[in-house]
Chains A and B, each alone.
Chain A
Amino acid sequence: MAGQSIPVATPSLSFENLTAGVFQDNLEQYLSENIGFREPMTRFYNQYLWDFFRKTYSDEVAIGKDDWLFFNFNVDEYYGKEMYRWIESNDKAVDRFEKQIRMLKKLIGVLKTFDIDFLIYTTPDKANLYPQFLPERDFDTTTIHAYDYYRQALVENGIPYIDMDSWFINMQDTLDYPAIPQTSAHWIFPAVYAADSLFSYMATMKGIEMPRIVIGERLECSELTKGNIRDLEKLLNLQRDITINEDIYYEREVSIRSDSNAVKPNAVFIGNSYFFAINQYIDLNEVFSDVRYWFYNMTEYYGQRLQKNRPISETDRLYAIVNADYIAWFTDKAQMYKISYGFAEDALLRLCVSDSLWEAEVEKVMVAENVNKTQAEDILRNDIERIEGLGGDCVPAIRNTRGIVLAQTAYRINQDENWLNALKIKAFTDNESLESLVKREAINVVDGHPLLRDDMAVNDSILTEYRVQEVVENWRNNTEMIDIITKQLEETGLTFEEQLLMDARWFVDNEKNNEK
């Protein structure tokens, strides 16, 4: 079933738990989650609610007219009711927005010193695009819309901003089908047109030529697109699909054309789930040299087709920021109040605050507020002006020089094929991660220590093995490859791991032959 479900552990019985009522509560939860036939019963009842009353108990989904589905928060934002979920008053909201704009301006100023361009991109909002299908609710005209505020403030403050919401409203009649389908929360193929505009704009910002998107022949929708067309519907957990005309939807061939003078920059995108649609249709590694996507600034998606992911806390964010050419923040109208999902604060701290200064400030807050380290760090991140040198409108001093230089050095190492190969051999033989070796090597460069690469003789067979392991890891995150490999197992009789390794070796050998 779709939706959030927190697995419930088997309740443990003890005298204390029983007398305190804890065991009973846990048992009720456990039985409720694990009752037999839970899924068919839930779907049966949900179908009854849908068929007879067009009603759902899903908190997230709002049922509009003609069976159009919306996220509740999109509808609330349209009607002016969303604001009070995240702040008490208009004054407090404006106060927060002004602070965010100041912070963004500071950040943009700092990033400019590294020749990094920052831009904000609002994706289309379904409630705005299709208000005729919204459920009837009362407007609250007293609340403030973050979107309305930022739209004006960003332009007034010279912060690069692309408003795709307005663009889609204006051009939706030219589309053969809704950009955001009736039963979906996200855009589908029209995301490619939006991406084309985005990349063109990015190229213009630096005055460069970037690889261009070429849209070709019409294609039937892929299984992934068909699933996305109904992604909001899935949250209703119905027995049967809602009747919609699926035939109107189609995709097109997408390829990337690189002219001889086209450059592939590095980019970090931060934002909401709308970015996944762009990644679905476009191989971003053909447009960007290094591309990362920080989903709500909580999870990093990276690698080939952004198939790998890890918590943002495990990412070297300073490395990613300093070596990016572009940083783009994706959001939509309803979530604009979240601004950069904490990215701006975090980036400013990483660029402008050395580790020692940060530790000292955290210590001060821990003592003054009587909180633990994590709480103190949260307080500081949310009150950026406490950090020395960031007060007022002046450009903050870049203090984390060592961190920045290390990140830039690491990048240089990554770009040097021979250097990287030497470290790959060491990573393979010592069973260490390449990333940690690159970091160590960067420290060696900066501090003048002997370099790791000088210890390593280039060994083709080890490099090949390293590459094979890389391919194996990539394919483990690739559902298409897993399907292909699984299908082969019946013929070959091998285990999955054996087949995976064999195919990876074949792939790497092919790669090497093609290079020759």
Chain B
Amino acid sequence: MILLFSIVFYGFGAPDFILWLLGSTIANFFLVKLMYKTEKKPLKKLYCGLAISVSLGLLVYYKYANFLIDNLNALISVFGANPIKMAKVLLPIGISFFTFQSITYVIDTYRGNNAPMDKLSDYIVYIMMFPQLIAGPIVRYCDIEGEIRHREYSSSECLQGLFRFVIGLSKKVLVADVIGAQVDQLLATPLASMDTGTAWITIAAYTMQLYFDFAGYSDMAIGLGRIMGFHFPENFDNPYNSASITEFWRRWHITLGAFMRNYLYIPLGGNRCSKRRMYFNLWVVFLLSGLWHGASWNFVVWGAWHGMWLVLERMGLKKFYERIGKAPSVIITFIIAMVGWAIFRIEDMGDAFTFISRLFAFDFSTFSIKADGQFYTMLIIALLFSFVGLFPFGKKLQDTIYYKDYSVAGTIVAWVLALFMLFFCIAAINAVGFSPFIYFRF
């Protein structure tokens, strides 16, 4: 059922690509089986390389072909040559996520962490299951190996799943979309004349929008998975409570960070090498992380921005954070993250730098923002929820909402609340329309 529904789900949304996805998934399945069976190491490596190439090859073509051609044309036009003509390649939705997920399976099997799946249908379920197919979390096979073959269902799990799903939907529809509508308007105004106050509110709003949008999606995926008996890994853990960028990447898009660590950073040598090499490894990982987010130079610069701060923290900045204490460290880290999001959001690098310059222009002569009460209310709610985890009562509240097993009375309250919020979100979607998740474009 899950297999069939997942195929229909993806095929419905992206009919042009379903065959490619199925084809590459099937190819990977058999290549991994061959890789596992063979005893000869060079052949094992070859099959591993082939399997990864199939996935990465499709990713590179669909995601980066346009980017490569555009940049090549920019370069050759300097020499007066004719540009290369190529029809624009459309990006299949979710390709970055299912590509990485299939790579984890290939490499983990190569490393001997797990045996390959016996059934092709199980493998397709693992790669294509609809809750996390489009935008993660990136699930390692070992995390749900047992659940693919056999799942436990219970009403309390179903409730927890529904509750989590509704929380995610609320984050997206009631918070992220409301904030996002205003952000779009603000960023459409002339950035060069934006006052500092408006610029900070704009970037704080986008910071919240992105978090609630992506975390909301992850909650929905985790919730749906739970209803179906899967326990997907968490993808966010109060990232804006981080006291350093190093900590930030342990709390933001956790599964991507884990992927990069396990399959790129450690194979490059990780931190078990010279300091120079470690800094190089960090830079490479984050440049590639940036590029993974999008085929555009601003994403690369964003990755470099984070890479730079990670390196600086290892060079001594972390000790500085420890000296000044948690609160100032959290504020500094939040500001660094926000500046990074400015680069992430504004694709034109000139505009991005103009905007960042306005952040630090200290121009408070005007306050040009004209936003409604709903925007400010949701922004404040988002900020409160983002930072409440810093406090013990906040952590307790989150644990109660997300993880606690409820009593009978609690179950009834949770059901009523979940159904009400679901109705509220559907009413909002119906009244306002629906906007796609930000991370769908990746």
Residue positions of A touching B, CB distance < 8 A: 18-19, 21, 24, 32, 35, 38, 41-42, 44-46, 48-49, 52-55, 57, 136-137
* Smallest Cβ-Cβ distance to B376: which chain A residue: A53
List residues of chain B with CB within 8 A of the CB of A137: 370
- Let me know if B15 and A18 touch, CB within 8 A: yes
- Let me know if A57 and B431 touch, CB within 8 A: yes
CB proximity of B387 to chain A, nearest CB, Å: 23
A21–B423 alpha-carbon span in the complex (Å): 28
A301–B427 alpha-carbon span in the complex (Å): 39
Given A52-B377, A53-B374, A55-B372, A19 and B16 contact (CB-CB distance below 8 Å): yes
CB proximity of A137 to chain B, nearest CB, Å: 7
- Let me know if A24 and B377 touch, CB within 8 A: no
A59–B431 alpha-carbon span in the complex (Å): 13
B12, B13, B427 pick with most chain A CB within 10 angstroms = B427
Q: Is B424 an interface residue (CB 8 A)?
A: yes
Q: Which of A21, A44, A52, A55 contacts B427 (CB 8 A)?
A: A44
A38, A41, A52, A57 pick with most chain B CB within 10 angstroms = A41
Given A19-B15, A24-B13, A41-B423, A46 and B373 contact (CB-CB distance below 8 Å): no
A291–B61 alpha-carbon span in the complex (Å): 69
- Let me know if B430 and A54 touch, CB within 8 A: no
List residues of chain A with CB within 8 A of the CB of B373: 52-55
A52–B370 alpha-carbon span in the complex (Å): 17
Q: Which of A21, A46, A54, A136 contacts B15 (CB 8 A)?
A: A21
- Let me know if A41 and B430 touch, CB within 8 A: yes
**A–B complex contacts, Cβ < 8 Å, 9 sampled:** A24-B13, A32-B433, A41-B430, A45-B431, A45-B432, A46-B431, A52-B377, A53-B373, A137-B370
Given A41-B427, A44-B427, A137-B370, A57 and B432 contact (CB-CB distance below 8 Å): yes
Interface size on B, residues (CB 8 A): 18
- Let me know if B377 and A35 touch, CB within 8 A: no
CB proximity of A212 to chain B, nearest CB, Å: 50
- Let me know if B426 and A41 touch, CB within 8 A: yes
A92–B12 alpha-carbon span in the complex (Å): 48
Q: Which of B370, B372, B377, B427 contacts A45 (CB 8 A)?
A: B427
CB proximity of A466 to chain B, nearest CB, Å: 51
A55–B373 alpha-carbon span in the complex (Å): 8
- Looking at chain B's contact residues, the main secondary structure is helix
A52–B376 alpha-carbon span in the complex (Å): 12
CB proximity of A335 to chain B, nearest CB, Å: 25
- Let me know if A53 and B377 touch, CB within 8 A: yes
CB proximity of A52 to chain B, nearest CB, Å: 7
CB proximity of B79 to chain A, nearest CB, Å: 39
Interface residues in B415-431 by Cβ distance below 8 A to A read 423-424, 426-428, 430-431
* Smallest Cβ-Cβ distance to A237: which chain B residue: B431
Q: Which of B15, B423, B424, B431 contacts A42 (CB 8 A)?
A: B431
List residues of chain B with CB within 8 A of the CB of A48: 424
A483–B15 alpha-carbon span in the complex (Å): 54
* Smallest Cβ-Cβ distance to B18: which chain A residue: A19
- Let me know if A45 and B15 touch, CB within 8 A: no
CB proximity of A47 to chain B, nearest CB, Å: 10
List residues of chain B with CB within 8 A of the CB of A24: 12-13, 15
* Smallest Cβ-Cβ distance to A136: which chain B residue: B370
20 extra A-B contacts, CB within 8 A, seeds A19-B15, A53-B373: A18-B15, A32-B430, A35-B430, A38-B430, A41-B430, A42-B427, A42-B430, A44-B424, A45-B427, A45-B430, A48-B424, A52-B373, A52-B377, A53-B374, A53-B377, A54-B373, A55-B372, A55-B373, A57-B432, A137-B370
Would you give the 0/1 interface string for B373-384, flagging 1 where the beta carbon is closer than 8 Å to chain A?
A: 110010000000
List residues of chain B with CB within 8 A of the CB of A19: 15-16
List residues of chain B with CB within 8 A of the CB of A52: 373-374, 377
* Smallest Cβ-Cβ distance to B372: which chain A residue: A55
* Smallest Cβ-Cβ distance to A15: which chain B residue: B15
A41–B425 alpha-carbon span in the complex (Å): 10
A262–B373 alpha-carbon span in the complex (Å): 59
A46–B374 alpha-carbon span in the complex (Å): 12
A53–B380 alpha-carbon span in the complex (Å): 14
- Let me know if B431 and A41 touch, CB within 8 A: yes
CB proximity of B173 to chain A, nearest CB, Å: 10
List residues of chain A with CB within 8 A of the CB of B374: 49, 52-53, 55
CB proximity of A105 to chain B, nearest CB, Å: 42
List residues of chain B with CB within 8 A of the CB of A32: 430, 433
CB proximity of B422 to chain A, nearest CB, Å: 11
List residues of chain B with CB within 8 A of the CB of A21: 15
